[in-house]
Structure 1
Amino acid sequence: MLEELEVRDLGPIRHAILEPAPGMTAITGETGAGKSMLLNAIGLISGAQAQTTRVAPGQDAAWAQGVFGLSADSHLLPALEEAGLQPEDGLLYLARSVPANGRSRSLANGRTVPRSLLADLSGRLVTIHGQSDQMRMASPARQRDFLDTYAADQEERGSYRQAWERLQALETKLAKLQDQQNEAIQQADYLRESIARIERADPQPGEDARLKEQRDRIEHAAQILEGVTGALAALDSSQLDLEAEAPSAAGLIDQAIQALNSSGVDGLFDESVARLKAMSADLADVVFTLSRQLDGEGKDGDLDKLNARIHELDELKGRWGPSIEDVIAWKEKAAFQLEDMDASPEKVEALQKECESAKAAAFEAAQALSKKRKAAGKALGRRVGDELGALAMGGAGLEVRVREREDGGLDAHGLDDVAFLFTPFPGSPQLPMGSSASGGELSRLMLAMELVAAEGRGIGSQSGAEAERATFIFDEVDAGVGGKAAVELGKRLARLAHSAQVIVVTHLAQVASWADRQFVVAKESGSGSTTTSVSEVAGEGREREIARMLAGSESETSLRHARELLDASRL
């Protein structure tokens, strides 16, 4: 509830303090006196766009502050806590400073805060119904929220929310499991392809080293042949040419043995002969080995095929190495992994069935919510139409259209598309709310809607001290209204004030007379300038203001009529 509004240097208002009643407050005054500046002040603390042209001439800045009373269990406390704010003795101070040059500054309980936070906080406390404030009710989301409040469908919405959240959790879990399954399938495919590739190549331990050695021999075959040939020529030339006459190492050793044996002295050269024979045997073995190498040299295979095989083995080592032994070990390990791998198709299938069941449950809960909304929508439209008739808008009507989406799709709020369609006068086509009719008609429509909603919740079920009262501000609600309709308008504002704080800017005495408090906005001239004052009127002062509003004068007749009107304006 708005307990105090203070304004400084805003337009013609130098300084004003307004303390609205907990019930209904009327703001009156001559046309052009500056009543709109009070609404501008409320707009400022509600986060509206600041206009430096509204700073009073010659002043550095305009300033507005609203003081709101909060209950101990206020619905605003979580938002305040999130913003790091705490009520001060149950009060919330929202202020806005607009300099003549520069950027505006928003404050909450004396702390600088973003303008968006100011708008969010005030938006939960104050609802302004004026020509420039109707567009927000054009939002389908706000229309749905209004209908839900009227329908009192908390139980159905709670049931649907639980079903929806369960469905969302299961679908998230299913998507995650399917992603895991896809990853497992991809990994299994990779393992199979890799194992098959290695098996096709069939690498053997140490094969790459042997092949590289073989390639080296082939690439150096001429040098090797030359070296072996020279060695054999020196050791045993007969291996190269049976008719060779050049002496060889093997032949010379044989000659040495024969020479020692022919000495005729037994046992003298036995040790030397034995050593020479051993040398001859070793030499024969070397000659045999070289001879075989000579026979096979250059015949170890095709060099191109050899290089292709080495390249194939190098590729295996590059992917699964670094050695051939590592490649073979990786293949064996991958085979075990492939055997143990489970893509869990059974789990996916079970979770899909669970999701289908949860979706069916959510759809059932959504249908129950939709049924409650449709019934409430018909009742709301009918009762709003009745109220509009009493507000000099006979033939006007509101259709609350609740339709299930054609595709049956669900979202966080159910399966309904909600639309408020307003018919401002007989014969007019149905028009989307917020985009049609005059400011006065829309204000009266909103009054009718708020009144019907409040009575649906039970007007007077809680006193102002026991419950946090919302604040409704009506501007232009009396446009085009007079006579009996004006009385009915004031009466309905007073009825709404039983469950909410109502502030109305009005030109009609029949409306102002119903208020618990009345403030007059008046021009004052002096020192070569004109300013605006805001003062509360009561008793005789209020009778004079009501008389002025009735007849434009304070004659005895108009004063008597004013007193009669004030006495009659009681619920």
Structure 2
Amino acid sequence: MLVSLAIRNVVLIDQLELAPDAGLGVLTGETGAGKSILLDALGLALGARADSALVRHGSDQASVTAAFEIDHEHPALAHLREQDFALEEEALVLRRVLSADGRSRAFVNDQPVSVGLLRALGERLVEVQGQFAQHGLLDPATHLGLLDAHGGLRAQAKALEGHWQDWRAAERAFAEAQAQLEQARRDDSFLRHALEELDELDPQEDEEERLAEERRFLMHGERLSEALNVAATALGGDGSDTAERALAMAQRALDRVADKAGGRVDELMGALDRAVAEVNEAQAQVSSLSADLEFEPGRLATVEERYFALKEQARKHGCEVQELPQLRRVFAERLEALDSGETHLAGLKAAVENAREAYLAAAGEISDKRGAAAESLQAAVQAELAPLRLDKAHFFCRVQRRDEEAWGPQGIDRVVFEVSTNPGAPGGPLAKIASGGELSRLLLALKVVLAEASPVTTLIFDEVDSGVGGATAAAVGERLARLAEQRQVLVVTHSPQVAALGRYHWQVRKETAGESTVTRVVPLDAPERQEEVARMLSGTQITQEARAAAGKLMARP
């Protein structure tokens, strides 16, 4: 619900902060005091069209901030998550800043957003009668969902959406397989020839790297062999009198004097022992490498032929050499799909038919229940009309079968709310058939019946009681109070019967100081509320009888 509204420099409002509560809140005041300015300001925060005329004269910019408390399952939060919006808390703060030149900026929780996103959130948070005429109950796109909610069909509608997605997925799989099969048929000769070449070549994983390394080794084999011969000579591995003999002579010389050196040559003799061992190891490795260099005649030519054959196949298919084994598998799979494609395609087609039948079965079942729910909704709304002086009106909830091309995740039905305001006249769209006053009361009746169905938690009515009085105004007030038991309701009213039922009451006043005129909104306590209701009953001259009547209205349960 709306928990705070801060307005700065909007028309006659210089600075205003309101903290709406749950239940029914009423705004009253003299005509022209600025009640409509409040709604225009709130509309800005909800993404309505910006007009530079809303900026207070002499100010550079206007701003409106509306804060809401909502639960974690609210559709507004789901919409933000769909937009990948980083939301760290469940409280929502919508802010709009409008410059005097007509440019505006939008923010959600102090993060800049598009006005379109702000509007989408506003539609999910607040319904303002008279401001968003094409949204809420007047938008036929919402009627099916509202009927499902009224009939307790949300879980079944969710399951139906799953059947629709399964059907679409089956159709996509069939279409993809069909396209692949047709492509395979066109490429049959190419695939078979290409696969024969790859099978003959038989490329292996990481083969290019191994061949490149062996090729480099073989190309430099002569120089490596010369280097190993020099190393063998230096180490004495070829039988020459070199390193090993020199180390042995050093060991014998030191050994003769070791017992007379008092341990001073022990560390040196250990180093010589280690040197002898390392020389022996080096000699062994040189011998091993020399043995490996017993080159196979023509090996370099064989390696190069294989290496460049792989390169040529990769060039031919526009890929890297390391991708050839995978390409070979792909070609084989495509040919296998071609050979068994008809069988596979037939199976996918059967899956499409099964998914379609499952969808139609679920859609038909929920369609029947929607018919019953529509009758229940019609009866419930009709019962609300007579007390609202709409006794000649008839409300219709029509469930119509769509053409197949219009079927969708919500099923095969189209649901439309219609009204006839004259006996015998055909029904038509709510906004086109009902007059302004009739429409306001008709929507009130609908909202009372559908209170639990709508995700919108804040409802605002602008003079829903216009043109009625007495018992009809009392009936309007009673329904607003009933609605406020489940939703936050704010109503701008000139009716004392409605104002008397408010849980809290604000008075809108226009004040002039010198050459400056401002609109103020003042919260009223119980005595002040009674005085304001009395004023609404009697006019500018408040009588004791009016005060007594106001007290009776406010005391009514």
SS in 2 for 1:429: coil
Deviation at 1:427, TM superposition (A): 4.6
In structure 2, what residue type is equivalent to 1:347?
H
2:176 alignment counterpart: 176
1:159 alignment counterpart: 159
User: 1 CA distance for matches of 2:348 and 2:133?
Assistant: 48
1:147-546 paired onto structure 2 within 5 Å: 147-188=147-188, 341-342=338-339, 344-407=341-404, 410-454=407-451, 470-546=457-533
User: 2 CA distance for matches of 1:430 and 1:340?
Assistant: 58
1:117 alignment counterpart: 117
In structure 1, what residue type is equivalent to 2:410?
H
For the 8 Å contact 2:367–2:412, the answer to whether it is kept is yes
SS in 2 for 1:435: helix
For the 8 Å contact 2:509–2:521, the answer to whether it is kept is yes
User: 1 CA distance for matches of 2:59 and 2:424?
Assistant: 52
Deviation at 1:341, TM superposition (A): 4.7
Closer, same or farther: CA 338–484 of 1 in aligned 2, 3 Å: closer
User: 2 CA distance for matches of 1:193 and 1:434?
Assistant: 69
Closer, same or farther: CA 340–174 of 1 in aligned 2, 3 Å: closer
User: 2 CA distance for matches of 1:12 and 1:381?
Assistant: 44
SS in 2 for 1:58: coil
1:19 alignment counterpart: 19
In structure 2, what residue type is equivalent to 1:364?
A
SS in 1 for 2:432: coil
- Residue of 76, 85, 96 corresponding to 1:83: 85
1:293 alignment counterpart: none
My pick for the range that moved more, 360-369 or 140-149, is 140-149
Deviation at 1:478, TM superposition (A): 0.8
Closer, same or farther: CA 344–546 of 1 in aligned 2, 3 Å: same
Closer, same or farther: CA 435–190 of 1 in aligned 2, 3 Å: farther
SS in 2 for 1:383: helix
Closer, same or farther: CA 76–419 of 1 in aligned 2, 3 Å: closer
User: 2 CA distance for matches of 1:522 and 1:409?
Assistant: 52
For residues 306-363 of structure 1, give each alpha carbon's deviation from its aligned partner in whole angstroms, at most 9, with x where no partner exists.
xxxxxxxxxxxxxx9xxxxxxxxxxxxx99x979951510111122112111111100
Name the count of aligned residue pairs. 421
User: 2 CA distance for matches of 1:61 and 1:456?
Assistant: 39
Deviation at 1:452, TM superposition (A): 0.6
- Residue of 558, 563, 567 corresponding to 2:546: 558
Deviation at 1:491, TM superposition (A): 0.5
Deviation at 1:122, TM superposition (A): 2.3
For the 8 Å contact 1:24–1:494, the answer to whether it is kept is yes
Deviation at 1:22, TM superposition (A): 0.4
For the 8 Å contact 1:421–1:432, the answer to whether it is kept is yes
For residues 538-568 of structure 1, give each alpha carbon's deviation from its aligned partner in whole angstroms, at most 9, with x where no partner exists.
2111111101111113211111110111001
User: 1 CA distance for matches of 2:453 and 2:49?
Assistant: 35
Deviation at 1:8, TM superposition (A): 1.5
Closer, same or farther: CA 174–531 of 1 in aligned 2, 3 Å: same
For residues 13-56 of structure 1, give each alpha carbon's deviation from its aligned partner in whole angstroms, at most 9, with x where no partner exists.
12222222200001111111110011111111110011101211
Deviation at 1:149, TM superposition (A): 1.9
For residues 57-91 of structure 1, give each alpha carbon's deviation from its aligned partner in whole angstroms, at most 9, with x where no partner exists.
1111111111111335544434445311323xx53
For residues 174-196 of structure 1, give each alpha carbon's deviation from its aligned partner in whole angstroms, at most 9, with x where no partner exists.
001101111122123777999xx
TM-score (norm 2): 0.71
Deviation at 1:139, TM superposition (A): 3.2
In structure 1, what residue type is equivalent to 2:163?
A
Closer, same or farther: CA 469–338 of 1 in aligned 2, 3 Å: closer
Deviation at 1:439, TM superposition (A): 2.7
In structure 1, what residue type is equivalent to 2:369?
K
Q: Which has the larger radius of gyration?
A: 1
My pick for the range that moved more, 539-548 or 472-481, is 472-481
2:325 alignment counterpart: none
SS in 1 for 2:62: strand
For residues 497-544 of structure 1, give each alpha carbon's deviation from its aligned partner in whole angstroms, at most 9, with x where no partner exists.
111100111110101111101111111122123221111112111111
For the 8 Å contact 1:469–1:501, the answer to whether it is kept is no
Deviation at 1:382, TM superposition (A): 1.7
Deviation at 1:437, TM superposition (A): 2.1
In structure 1, what residue type is equivalent to 2:85?
A
Give percent identity, aligned residues only: 37
Query: Mind listing any 5+ residue stretches in structure 2 that lack a counterpart?
Result: 195-315, 317-330
Closer, same or farther: CA 25–341 of 1 in aligned 2, 3 Å: closer
For the 8 Å contact 1:391–1:444, the answer to whether it is kept is yes
1:301 alignment counterpart: none
Deviation at 1:469, TM superposition (A): 7.7
Closer, same or farther: CA 192–106 of 1 in aligned 2, 3 Å: closer
For the 8 Å contact 1:26–1:518, the answer to whether it is kept is yes
For residues 396-415 of structure 1, give each alpha carbon's deviation from its aligned partner in whole angstroms, at most 9, with x where no partner exists.
12211101124486312100
Query: Mind listing any 5+ residue stretches in structure 1 that lack a counterpart?
Result: 195-319, 321-333, 458-467
1:71 alignment counterpart: 71
My pick for the range that moved more, 339-348 or 415-424, is 339-348
Closer, same or farther: CA 357–182 of 1 in aligned 2, 3 Å: same
1:31 alignment counterpart: 31
Closer, same or farther: CA 186–516 of 1 in aligned 2, 3 Å: same
For residues 194-238 of structure 1, give each alpha carbon's deviation from its aligned partner in whole angstroms, at most 9, with x where no partner exists.
9xxxxxxxxxxxxxxxxxxxxxxxxxxxxxxxxxxxxxxxxxxxx
